[in-house]
Amino acid sequence: RPYGIGSLENQLLCLLIYYRTYTTQLFIGFWFRVDDATVCRTIKRLEPFLSQVIKIKKEPKLTEDTLQTLLLDATEQRTQGTGESKCPYYSGKKKSHTIKTEIIMTNKEKIIQVSPPFPGSVHDITVRRESDSIPECKSIYADSGYQGLEEDYPNIKLPKKKPKGKPLSEEDQKYNKSVHYVRNPVEFKFREIKIFQILYQVYRNSKPSYAIKMAIITGIVNLKNGF
């Protein structure tokens, strides 16, 4: 039984298969004719180097074209938990244990910022305020989960909330449709990210390793789109 998977290409292929399918490491080991411990060691050894090469890098200065419109949203992924609702990872919205991450992208579909992972109980606004600040831009589009963020970012555009006991006016409905139309690409971007099953299925790995996996996969998505 060989100790290692072999060439760097094979090691990278092993990691990508794991991310894309999120099958067991034992099953991947059958393909490479090694045991599951070798697969685990290979992935852990490769992740830190790959993240430095492909992760979303902070640009010292964004172009004027990039800074016109930014799209902002957070997503939650289910994770293994104890079943107790008092656990910080328990999301009342999803009724399960989750990990929350926020991304910022341009209207040209380039991801420019990824937040650290947060427990599912943390509100979207708190995630925003405890992450790196948004680059200066003409306008920011976000969903209703960021209501109240206007104090921090006056140029943010959010859907209008329905008044209590009253329907939205026709003008407000049209405004909400326009906001939804502009920010819709961020939802498609999450779909691209979650094609990698490791960020879609119930997350089984250790929570501290989540950030590096998100960094690598968002970098791959940018690379796929020519950035």
At 56 the pLDDT is 84
H/E stretch holding 58: none
Choose among 73, 90, 93, 70: nearest CA to 81.
Answer: 90
At 83 the pLDDT is 64
The DSSP line for 137-173 is -SEEE--GGGTTGGGT-TTEE-PPPPPTTSPPPHHHH
Contact (CB, 8 A) for 152 and 142? no
Choose among 17, 41, 58, 23: nearest CA to 215.
Answer: 58
Q: Phi/psi at 147 (nearest 5 deg)?
A: -60, 130
Res 119 pLDDT > 70 = yes
What gap in Å lies between CA 34 and CA 7, rounded to an integer? 14
27-64 per-position pLDDT tens digit? 999 999 999 999 999 999 999 999 999 988 776 566 66
pTM of the model: 0.90
What gap in Å lies between CA 201 and CA 79, rounded to an integer? 8
pLDDT band at 200 (very low <50, low <70, confident <90, very high): very high
